[in-house]
A and B are shown apart, each in its own frame.
Chain A
Amino acid sequence: MHMEEQHHCPRESRRSFLKQSTALAALATASPLLVKAAENEEKINAYFEKVPLQLEINGQLQNLSVEPRVTLLDLLREQLGLTGTKKGCDHGQCGCCTVHVDGKRINSCLSLAVMNQGKKITTIEGLANGEQLHPMQEAFMKHDGFQCGYCTPGQIMSAIGCIREGHANSAEDIREYMSGNICRCGAYPNIVDAIMEVKQGGQKV
């Protein structure tokens, strides 16, 4: 069999560990020693379950170690402190978590981090060139394309994708191809204006 085994922790041992660890937890108040033993075992367990992961995030190569269940969104926010990417619904329904993977917009909440091995990730933090904002960021400010701002990083990442994909040719087109980004403040008309302006300006996005 030609499988590339990512780690060597058989499931059974993890399951039995969990059972054991629950039993230990029940005794925790009784014995500090047992708590320490459980903690140590948990550390070892976690070590075996993590998968080495290399990503290029906003131009910087990152060598990471993540559990398979960690989403790209949680990796960015929790492990790397890149909190510009927002968690809204966490189920791919709101678009707050939109980032670019190899230049394409995706929902980072539905992408397991380990599945992005070797890929280039761009987040809202990676758009500006030093102090100079990306044209889409400028356009959102100019057109007041937000109110509370929570959906804005996702809107901007998605808007850039929309233009790159060639789907920003009319207001109607933009509304359709931006439908994966929900704005509960209802800034849609201004978001459409911002995208139209960048598209018509012909700047490289």
Chain B
Amino acid sequence: MINFEYVKANSAQSASEARIKNGASQFIAGGTNLVDLMKKGITAPERLIDINALPLKEISLTPKGLSIGALVPNSVAADHETVKTKYPLLAMALNAGASAQLRNMATVGGNIMQRTRCSYFYDTTMPCNKRNPGTGCSAVEGYNRMHAIFGASEQCIAVHPSDMCVALAALNATVQVSGTKGTRKIPFADFHRLPADTPQLDTNLQVGELITAVSIPAHSFNKAYYLKVRDRLSYAFALVSVAVALDVKDGMIRSAAIAMGGVAHKPWRLYEVEEFVTGKPISKELFTEAASIAMTGAKTYTHNQYKIKLGKAAIIEALTKASS
């Protein structure tokens, strides 16, 4: 690992100032992704700004919803009683990600900021527009089994690796950020970007902006399920995943929130499917049709055609599990 300067920030403001002052600096929280990227030579910050001393470790419930501090470890959020009882979808998604050790280290803010696990992004001997803009995308013509089927561009077909973010997208979360010019709230759907011509940009954060918390509005969903399909039973990234939250009464879906992981450069919200199932009685036929709608417009590559069939099956399974 190339050496770097290390400083500890004691306020969000000072962290943002330090970040702007040195363009080659980066914030570090849990470090589970960043330290790995630095070891691999994918990123080489000149200065790390350790934000772990900032007071961003609270989980609080208000009538408006839930707020989780950016530095809350994934395991703490997943095991928190309020999260488990009022936002079970989030708890399930958190527990589906990484390993117990990594969840003890990784923070909620860092989870949102994690970078793709595309094997070509990780292989510094191969061209990659995300790692090295303008060099080309090795995955388009390469081994693209893990790659996107929605929202990709010819510049990048990588997928976002997070499970937690799929649940947050479904639950209409808001990302709270602070910068030198003050604070702002970014709706989850607008936080991550599609690759288009600038795959090097994962998010719409401005330089110096720091995630301070994520808030999830109060909701009326009484059913939830997070289904993750992967190459082994645990501790692997998703081939596809489905987050489902439903408000069901007397066998009728009153409202629905559905998002997919492992299929796009950002958590993929299925608005049309939500609209389709809303107001309809639960049935196998309904879910089958919903799954077909979900896969409309999918674009596959040589090795990821299976994701359409798998994605459909996963949606039917997740809707069935959630509503049962």
Complex Cα distance, B52 from A182, in Å, reads: 29
Partner of B101, one of A114, A158, A167: A158
Partner of B5, one of A9, A175, A179: A9
Contact in complex: B8, A4 (CB < 8 Å)? yes
- For the complex formed, measure the closest distance between the CB of B97 and the CB atoms of chain A, giving whole angstroms: 11
Contact in complex: B235, A179 (CB < 8 Å)? yes
Q: Within 8 Å CB of B105, what residues of A? A: 106-107, 110-111
Interface residues of A in 41-86 (CB under 8 A from B): 49, 51, 67-69, 71
- For the complex formed, measure the closest distance between the CB of B232 and the CB atoms of chain A, giving whole angstroms: 8
Partner of A3, one of B4, B10, B35: B10
- For the complex formed, measure the closest distance between the CB of B324 and the CB atoms of chain A, giving whole angstroms: 20
Question: With A110-B105, A115-B52 as given contacts, are A92 and B100 in contact (CB-CB < 8 Å)?
Answer: no
B286 interface residue per 8 A CB criterion: no
- For the complex formed, measure the closest distance between the CB of A109 and the CB atoms of chain B, giving whole angstroms: 8
Contact indicator per residue, chain B 223-243, by CB within 8 Å of chain A (1) or not (0):
000000000011100000000
A90 interface residue per 8 A CB criterion: yes
B160 interface residue per 8 A CB criterion: no
Contact indicator per residue, chain B 54-85, by CB within 8 Å of chain A (1) or not (0):
00000000000000000000010001000000
Contact in complex: B32, A68 (CB < 8 Å)? no
Question: With A1-B14, A112-B35 as given contacts, are A161 and B101 in contact (CB-CB < 8 Å)?
Answer: yes
Contact in complex: B47, A114 (CB < 8 Å)? no
Q: Which residue from chain A places its CB closest to the CB of B1 in the assembled complex?
A: A69
Contact in complex: A3, B99 (CB < 8 Å)? no
- For the complex formed, measure the closest distance between the CB of A64 and the CB atoms of chain B, giving whole angstroms: 14
B135 interface residue per 8 A CB criterion: no
Question: With A49-B3, A69-B2, A179-B99 as given contacts, are A165 and B75 in contact (CB-CB < 8 Å)?
Answer: yes
Contact in complex: B7, A95 (CB < 8 Å)? no
Q: Within 8 Å CB of B102, what residues of A? A: 92, 107, 110, 180
Q: Within 8 Å CB of A176, what residues of B? A: 233-234
Q: Within 8 Å CB of B79, what residues of A? A: 165
A177 interface residue per 8 A CB criterion: yes
- Chain B contact-residue range equals 35 or more
A98 interface residue per 8 A CB criterion: yes
Contact in complex: A68, B6 (CB < 8 Å)? yes
Contact in complex: B101, A106 (CB < 8 Å)? yes
With contacts defined as CB atoms under 8 Å apart, how many contacts are there between chain A and chain B in the complex?
113
A14 interface residue per 8 A CB criterion: yes
Contact indicator per residue, chain B 290-311, by CB within 8 Å of chain A (1) or not (0):
0000000000000000000000
**Residues of A contacting B: mostly:** mixed
Complex Cα distance, B28 from A48, in Å, reads: 22
Complex Cα distance, B5 from A5, in Å, reads: 9
Interface residues of B in 29-53 (CB under 8 A from A): 31-32, 35-36, 38-40, 46-48, 50, 52
Complex Cα distance, B39 from A112, in Å, reads: 11
B17 interface residue per 8 A CB criterion: yes
Complex Cα distance, B101 from A175, in Å, reads: 14
Interface residues of B in 209-255 (CB under 8 A from A): 233-235
A121 interface residue per 8 A CB criterion: no
Partner of B3, one of A14, A110, A175: A14
- For the complex formed, measure the closest distance between the CB of A154 and the CB atoms of chain B, giving whole angstroms: 9
Q: Within 8 Å CB of B101, what residues of A? A: 92, 95, 98, 105-107, 158, 161, 180
Complex Cα distance, B162 from A54, in Å, reads: 34
B98 interface residue per 8 A CB criterion: yes
Contact indicator per residue, chain A 1-36, by CB within 8 Å of chain B (1) or not (0):
111111101010010000000000000000000000
Partner of A114, one of B1, B6, B18, B46: B6
Contact in complex: A110, B48 (CB < 8 Å)? no
Complex Cα distance, B9 from A69, in Å, reads: 18
Contact indicator per residue, chain B 115-126, by CB within 8 Å of chain A (1) or not (0):
000000000000
Residues of B whose CB lies within 8 Å of any CB of A are 1-11, 14, 17-18, 28, 31-32, 35-36, 38-40, 46-48, 50, 52, 75, 79, 98-102, 104-105, 233-235
**What are 5 A-B pairs at a CB distance below 8 A?**
A6-B8, A7-B6, A9-B5, A51-B6, A111-B105
